[in-house]
Amino acid sequence: MRLLGFPVTGWVVRLVRVDDRAKAYRYADRFSRSLGFPVAEVENEDDWVDAGAGDLFLGLDLCTDMVPAAQSWFQGMRRKGVAIYFVVYDLLPVQRPEWFSDGLASWFPHWLQTIGEVSDGLIGISRAVVDDLYRWYGPRPPQRRSELKLGYFHLGADIHSTNPSVGLEADAEKVLAQLRSRPSFLMVGTVEPRKGHEQVLAAFDQLWKKDVRANLVVVGKPGWLQEKLISVMKNHPQCGVQLFWLQGVSDEYLEKVYEASSCLLAASEGEGFGLPLIEAAQKQIPIIARNLPVFREIAGEHACYFDGGDPMTLAKSIEDWLKLSEQGRAPLSSNLNWLTWEQSVEQLKAVMFDSDWVGFI
């Protein structure tokens, strides 16, 4: 949206989509109009992409099956002089394939190999992603005649500029009052294997047995490969008492949940970025995060960190944080630096147009 609304001087930004039959790209004129950005009058709507020397393709979408299928199209574009860049959000499907469906896990290596071969550069959403790219391509370098450039930028976090959803659940005020009544630890994200919900719930079970009065608040839809955990959460004796699972809430409701919470708990075992940390910082809510390189990159000294995957270690970290909070010594998130989408796109443009790359393969 930012690129469409504020394009680079001298450039025209056009949305494109892959045609699954032809394994080639068309303009996405109808979709562009649906976003409020009508294109200039064209003879054939959603016509085939016509590109040449000096043009640039930016792959923002994760199309693990279609990009490898369209490899010959990309090779043809490169022969014409079109620069090709892809954004890489994380490498988790190849690092921990057991966390994902068989389809994504099986296609992802092909996608990485293809973009490594057809691109001029790959752009991660954090330095941690770039480091992961180095590690993955090291033993399996892409077949190419020139170096593959690597760079990164950070995502934007000004939710109000992205058409936030609105609306509150019928019991929203009651839930929010319960969250304010005692320390509330908030998790944000789909309930999926890598997010750490199982460890967190087990840690809170230990805390509740010790009569620690604290709420666990989970905001996120049920995901995949978590049927047992989902059943446990739905039928937990603390559900609606000290355990609150809010599924599919609006951005408006989520914002109020942040405001009513005491601390963000970022227990994910793998991420490409970490937007909830920034959302918490915007609300000046303290953070407890797993000791991941990307969380360190984003939050620095403005969060508490924990290691290990056992519930006891995490339960102790939460108790330690509660003591620090009572003493006014818990790290503050208010000084955590974050970007607007305008600033995010400026970083992205600096990589593509000002050669702000950090390395090569």
Residue 115, pLDDT score: 97
Residue 1, pLDDT score: 87
Per DSSP, 242 falls in state T
The whole-angstrom separation of Cα 18 and Cα 105 is: 21
**Predicted model pTM:** 0.89
Q: Look up residue 281 and give its amino acid.
A: A
The whole-angstrom separation of Cα 224 and Cα 226 is: 5
Domain extents in the chain: 2-156+340-360, 166-326
The whole-angstrom separation of Cα 316 and Cα 119 is: 46
* β partners of residue 359: 150
Residue 7, pLDDT score: 80
* Direct distance between the N- and C-terminal alpha carbons of the chain, in angstroms, rounded to an integer: 31
The whole-angstrom separation of Cα 83 and Cα 72 is: 15
CA–CA distances in Å: residue 123 to residues 54, 73, 193: 19, 21, 26
Domain 166-326, CATH: 3.40.50.2000
Q: Element (H or E) spanning 185, and its range?
A: strand 184-188
Residue 92 C-beta-side C-alpha neighbours within 13 Å: 18
Instruction: Supply the DSSP string of 78-91, one letter for each residue.
Output: HHHT-EEEEEE---
The whole-angstrom separation of Cα 296 and Cα 308 is: 16
* β partners of residue 339: 156
State the CATH class of domain 2-156+340-360. alpha beta
The whole-angstrom separation of Cα 34 and Cα 171 is: 33
Per residue of the chain (361 residues), give pLDDT as tens: 889 988 888 899 999 999 999 999 999 999 999 999 988 777 788 999 999 999 999 999 999 999 999 999 999 999 999 999 999 999 999 999 999 888 888 999 999 999 999 999 999 999 999 999 999 999 999 999 899 999 999 999 886 666 678 888 778 899 999 999 999 999 999 998 899 999 999 999 999 999 999 999 999 999 888 899 999 999 999 999 999 999 978 988 988 999 999 999 999 999 999 998 998 999 999 999 999 999 999 999 999 999 999 999 999 999 999 999 999 999 999 999 999 999 999 999 999 999 999 999 9
By CB atoms closer than 10 A (0-12, 13-18, 19+), residue 163 is: exposed
* β partners of residue 247: none
Query: Would the CATH topology of 2-156+340-360 be identical to that of 166-326?
Result: yes
Residue 44, pLDDT score: 83
Per DSSP, 262 falls in state S
The whole-angstrom separation of Cα 355 and Cα 361 is: 15
The whole-angstrom separation of Cα 325 and Cα 264 is: 13
Residue 165, pLDDT score: 83
Nearest to 304 by CA among 324, 278, 283, 275: 324
